[in-house]
Amino acid sequence: MYITYRKPTPADGQAVYQLIQRCPPLDQNSLYCNLLQCRDFSDTSIIAQTEDGTIAGFISGYIPQSRPDTLFIWQVALSSEFRGQGIANTMLTELFRRDARLTHMETTISPSNQASRKLFTRFFKEHFTSVETKTLFKQGIHFNNDHEDEVLYLAGPAIRLDQQSA
C-alpha cells in the first residue's frame, strides 16, 4: 500500500478527531484542539494518508518556546488496520527531518503503553546518541490519581537524519 506523508490542514480536523477516538489510550482532546493543531501546529505535525484519501495516522507535535532545538511529540495515532508496518516510525522520521535546526526530541510515555515504548525506543536508538528518562507528571500529584504517570523521554543530540534513508 502506498502511503503519503504531509502536513495537516484544518480540513483534516474532523478525521483526526475521529482517529484519536479510535486510538485508546490516547486522551480525546476537543475537536477545537485538533483543528488548532491542524492549523497552527501544522509544521510540527504530520498525516499519513492512503491513495484513496483515508487518514491512516496522525502525529501532533510542537517546538517548546524555551527549547527551540527540540521537537516535542504530543500524540501518535495510527488506525489499527495500519499498525505493525513501521508507519509510525516513518512518520516520526519524516517529521523530524523537516527542520534541520532540530537536534533533540522529547515525548512522554505511560509505563503500560508497550507499543509506544517499543516505537520510541527503536526510533531513539536509531536516530539519537542518547536518551534520558524521568517522571514528568505523577499520578498522585498531577493527575489526581486518575491517570498513570507520564515518563519524559529526552533524546539527543540527533545523528543527522538527512544522511540516513527514510
Where do contacts with ligand COA occur on this chain (CB under 6 A)?
A: 23, 25-26, 75-78, 83-89, 113-116, 118-119, 122
Long-range contacts at 34-37 (CB < 8 A, ≥ 24 apart): 35/10, 37/8, 37/13, 37/74
Backbone angles phi, psi at 118, to 5 degrees: -65, -45
In the complex, what is the shortest distance from the CB of residue 47 to ligand COA, in angstroms, rounded to a whole number?
A: 14
Polymer length in residues for the chain: 166
Judged by beta carbon, residue 48 or residue 158, the one nearer ligand COA is 48
Angle at 60 between CA 163 and CA 96, to 5 degrees: 10
Judged by beta carbon, residue 118 or residue 142, the one nearer ligand COA is 118
Judged by beta carbon, residue 39 or residue 83, the one nearer ligand COA is 83
In the complex, what is the shortest distance from the CB of residue 122 to ligand COA, in angstroms, rounded to a whole number?
A: 5
Judged by beta carbon, residue 14 or residue 113, the one nearer ligand COA is 113
In the complex, what is the shortest distance from the CB of residue 137 to ligand COA, in angstroms, rounded to a whole number?
A: 14
Judged by beta carbon, residue 50 or residue 113, the one nearer ligand COA is 113
In the complex, what is the shortest distance from the CB of residue 150 to ligand COA, in angstroms, rounded to a whole number?
A: 10
Residues 95 and 44: beta-carbon distance below 8 Å: yes
DSSP code of 80? G
Cis check for the bond before 64: say yes or no (omega within 30 of 0): no
In the complex, what is the shortest distance from the CB of residue 120 to ligand COA, in angstroms, rounded to a whole number?
A: 9
Q: Which distant-in-sequence residues (6+ apart) come within 8 Å of 94 by Cβ?
A: 5, 46, 166
